[in-house]
C-alpha cells in the first residue's frame, strides 16, 4: 500500500505537498491501569490535570501564587487556563521575559512562607535561572542554619521531545539539577502522576522542580481522581513485572519501554520488568537494585544525551550494588551527544527499535 492509498484508507482528504506523511509521536501512550486513590474520577489530559492541581493549591492556601511568562491567559500549553479569572490578578499573573527574575522573585516569595508555583515556559529556558535555583534556592536552608528556607517553592517546566521543537524546545535538563543537594526533581508520565506530584511538591519542605514532558500534555489521557491527592516523591513505580531484564525510564520514555516490553515478549520470548523512576532526586535505589538483582540485566533509556545523563548515575550505582548479580553490562539507550536536531529528531530519540536492539544485545551477551 503506497502513501496515497494509506491516506485514502484512513479518511484523509488531502495529500501533503511533499507527498510524505510524518508521524511525530514516537510512542504509544499507556494509561495507568487504575486511579491512585478511591473516589470519583474525571477523564482529563495531562494539562487539565495540572490545571486542576494548581486550582486545588490556590484554593487550599490563600498565600499560593502562580506566575510566569503568559500564565495569565493560560500559558502556551494552557495549563493555567481560567485560574486568573477565578483567583484574581494578585495571585495569578504574568512576569517579564526574564527567567532569572522569575526564579529570584519565586525564592523571595517562598522565603516569606507563601506557596510559589513558578512556570518556566520551556525547560530549555531554565538555564538563565540556573544560578538562582542552584546557588540560592537549593542552599537557602543550609547556609542560614535552618533559620530560613524556600521550601514552599515549585518550578514547573515543560521538557522533552515534541516532534518539531529542535534545539531550543526539546531538551531534557534533569541531570543538571540532580547534581544539586537541596532540590527535589520529578518527572510525571501522565495525568495522575502530574497532579499527584505537583501537589506533593507544593507541600514539600524543599524547593522542587517538576519537568513535564510537553508531548504528553494532550496525548496522555486518564481517569483522574477529582479530589486532592499526593504521589510520593522519591518512590519508583513498577509498571510491569518481569524476570529476564529490567527496563528503567521516566517521563515519555516509559511509554516507549512499555511497548518495547511487549515486543520483547512477542519477538524474543523475553520477560521485561518495566520501572518508572518518577523521581530523579531523590531516586529510589532500593526498587531499582532489587529488580536488577532479580533479573540480572538492565537497560536504562532517556531522551537526554548519553554523556553524564542521569542514566550514568543509575548505571554506576547498579554496578556498585548489584555487580555479582549481573549477567551482562548495564546498557544505556539515550539521545546522542549532539544538540537536539529538528528534521533528524526521529534518529535522535531512543525509540522502540533502538531499545529492542539493546535488549537483544543484553540477552545475547
Active-site annotation, residues? 99, 169
Q: Name the residue among 185, 158, 187, 195 with its Cα closest to residue 35.
A: 195
Dist CA 239 CA 18 (whole Å): 40
Dist CA 121 CA 269 (whole Å): 43
What's phi and psi for 121, nearest 5 deg?
A: -55, -40
DSSP per-residue string spanning 116-164: EEEE-SSGGGGGGGHHIIIIIITTHHHHTTTS---TTEEEEEEES--SS
Beta carbons within 8 Å of 85's beta carbon, 6+ residues apart: none
Dist CA 70 CA 80 (whole Å): 9
Any idea what the Cα angle at residue 274 is, between residues 218 and 280, rounded to 5°? 70
Dist CA 333 CA 342 (whole Å): 20
Dist CA 319 CA 171 (whole Å): 27
Q: Name the residue among 316, 337, 330, 334 with its Cα closest to residue 361.
A: 330
C-alpha cell at 243: 524476570
Beta carbons within 8 Å of 184's beta carbon, 6+ residues apart: 201, 204, 206, 207, 208, 209, 233, 234, 279, 281, 282
Amino acid at each position: 500500500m503506497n502513501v496515497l492509498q494509506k491516506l485514502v484508507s484512513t479518511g484523509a482528504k488531502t495529500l501533503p505537498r511533499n507527498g510524505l506523511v510524518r508521524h511525530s509521536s514516537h510512542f504509544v501512550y499507556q494509561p495507568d491501569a487504575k486511579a491512585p486513590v478511591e473516589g470519583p474520577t474525571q477523564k482529563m489530559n495531562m494539562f487539565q490535570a495540572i490545571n486542576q492541581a494548581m486550582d486545588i493549591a490556590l484554593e487550599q492556601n490563600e498565600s499560593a501564587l502562580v506566575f510566569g511568562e503568559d500564565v495569565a491567559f493560560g500559558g502556551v500549553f494552557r495549563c493555567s487556563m481560567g485560574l486568573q479569572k477565578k483567583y484574581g490578578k494578585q495571585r495569578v499573573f504574568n512576569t517579564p521575559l526574564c527567567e532569572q527574575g522569575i526564579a529570584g522573585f519565586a525564592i523571595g516569595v517562598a522565603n516569606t512562607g507563601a506557596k510559589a508555583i513558578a512556570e518556566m515556559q520551556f525547560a530549555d529556558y531554565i538555564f538563565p535561572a540556573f544560578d538562582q535555583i542552584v546557588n540560592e534556592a537549593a542552599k537557602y536552608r543550609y547556609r542560614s542554619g535552618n533559620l530560613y528556607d524556600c521550601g514552599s517553592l515549585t518550578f514547573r517546566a515543560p521538557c522533552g521531545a515534541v516532534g518539531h521543537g529542535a534545539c531550543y524546545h526539546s531538551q531534557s535538563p534533569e541531570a543538571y539539577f540532580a547534581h544539586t543537594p537541596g532540590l527535589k526533581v520529578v518527572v510525571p508520565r501522565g495525568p495522575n502522576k502530574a497532579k499527584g506530584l505537583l501537589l506533593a511538591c507544593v507541600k514539600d519542605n524543599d524547593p522542587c522542580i517538576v519537568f513535564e514532558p510537553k508531548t504528553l500534555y494532550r496525548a496522555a489521557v486518564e481517569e483522574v481522581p477529582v479530589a486532592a491527592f499526593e504521589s510520593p516523591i522519591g518512590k519508583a513505580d513498577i509498571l510491569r513485572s518481569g524476570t529476564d531484564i529490567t527496563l528503567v525510564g521516566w517521563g515519555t520514555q516509559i511509554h516507549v519501554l512499555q511497548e518495547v516490553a511487549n515486543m520483547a515478549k512477542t519477538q524474543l520470548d523475553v520477560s521485561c520488568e518495566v520501572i518508572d523512576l518518577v523521581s530523579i532526586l531523590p531516586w529510589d535505589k532500593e526498587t531499582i537494585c532489587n529488580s536488577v538483582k532479580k533479573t540480572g540485566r538492565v537497560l536504562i533509556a532517556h531522551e537526554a544525551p548519553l554523556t553524564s545523563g542521569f542514566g550514568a548515575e543509575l548505571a554506576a550505582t547498579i554496578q556498585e550494588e548489584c555487580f555479582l548479580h549481573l549477567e551482562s553490562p548495564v546498557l544505556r539507550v539515550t539521545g546522542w551527544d549532539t544538540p537536539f536536531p529538528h528534521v533528524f529528531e526521529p534518529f535522535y530519540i531512543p525509540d522502540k527499535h533502538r531499545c529492542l536492539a539493546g535488549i537483544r544485545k543484553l540477552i545475547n551477551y
